[in-house]
Amino acid sequence: MDLRQSLLPGRRGLLVRLSAAEGMRPALLDALHRYSDGLAEEPGTEVFIVHIDPDDADVVWLYEIFQDDDAQEQHRAAEGFAVLMTELPGVLGAPPAILRLDPLRMSLQEQVLSEDLTF
């Protein structure tokens, strides 16, 4: 197995905690999946990972990496993001919690890039 590693200078990252209203996590995940399907329109959004919280059935975590500050601004101005922002108020039980990060280094098993992860 090959390990791909990369330094990520200048990248911008976000860790976002989304708290769904009770029973609304499936609707939240549906909105995030639809948004993810359109990420090709945001070439500067390099990583977008949706995590479900194993300890809280209402929490979803997002981890995002943007190529740079401009890419993060383009993300915020993208049509798909605007649609997502209109959907979130109907499914969230609390405002998003956002932690800004400056990614430094990434390591990824090569096999992950070749696996068929489509649903």
In CATH terms, the fold of domain 13-103 is Alpha-Beta Plaits (3.30.70)
**Choice between 118 and 46, residue whose per-residue pLDDT is larger:** 46
Mean pLDDT, the chain, whole residue set: 93
For the whole prediction, is pTM greater than 0.85?
A: yes
pLDDT digits (tens, 9 = 90+) for 8-60: 899 999 999 999 999 999 999 999 999 999 999 999 999 999 999 999 999 99
For the record, the structure tokens of 24 come out as 């609304």
pLDDT band at 118; cut points 50, 70, 90: low
CA distance 44 to 66: 6
Give kind and range of the element (H or E) at residue 108: strand 105-109
pLDDT, position 80: 97
Please name the helix (run of DSSP H) or strand (run of DSSP E) that holds residue 104, with its range, or none.
none
